[in-house]
Amino acid sequence: MGKLKKTGKENIEDILALTPMQEGMLFYYLEDPQGESYFEQLTLEFSGEIEVEVFEKAWNFVIETNEMLRTVFRWEKLGSSIQIILKKHQLQLRYFDLSCGDIGHMNDRLEEIKVNDRRDKFLLLSHRAGELR
């Protein structure tokens, strides 16, 4: 798992208590941080040319306009759990070109990437919680 990334005060938009649903999800996460509850993977297949810069810009616009995608969580050494909504958060995308080779090799490589992502779980404390890979 990754390291806790410090959130600077200048990048904090709001601080809120967790909702009852979030409290429940946090409870299950803390009970089993390696579990797969609430862990989702989505694989998209694109054909044709991808304009990487436009794709990233679009996702960052979605993040900019949806505060839940800019939210990190804190609970350690606090009286109660909180969510911190960040003013800015830039998504870091990773790309894998699976277009070369036969379909069997491509599917094997895709499965390997997905298995590694499940193994390298996001750290709820970090900015990776809403990560796209």
- pTM beyond 0.75: the answer is no
Q: What is the pLDDT along the chain (133 residues), one digit of tens a residue?
A: 334 456 678 999 999 999 999 999 999 888 988 788 877 888 877 888 889 899 999 999 999 999 999 998 899 888 899 999 999 988 878 888 887 778 888 889 889 988 888 777 665 555 554 555 4
Q: Quick one: tokens of 50?
A: 């991808």
106 and 98 in contact (C-beta within 8 Å)?
A: yes
Q: Which fold has domain 9-94?
A: Chloramphenicol Acetyltransferase (3.30.559)
Q: What are the residue ranges spanned by the domains of the chain?
A: 9-94
Nearest residue to 81 (alpha-carbon basis) of 127, 6, 16: 16
For residue 25, give the nearest of 64, 56, 71 by alpha carbon. 71
What are the backbone angles phi and psi of residue 83, rounded to the nearest 5°? -120, 135
Exposure string over 71-97, b if 16+ CB within 10 A, otherwise e:
bbbbbeeeeebebbbbeebeeeeeeee
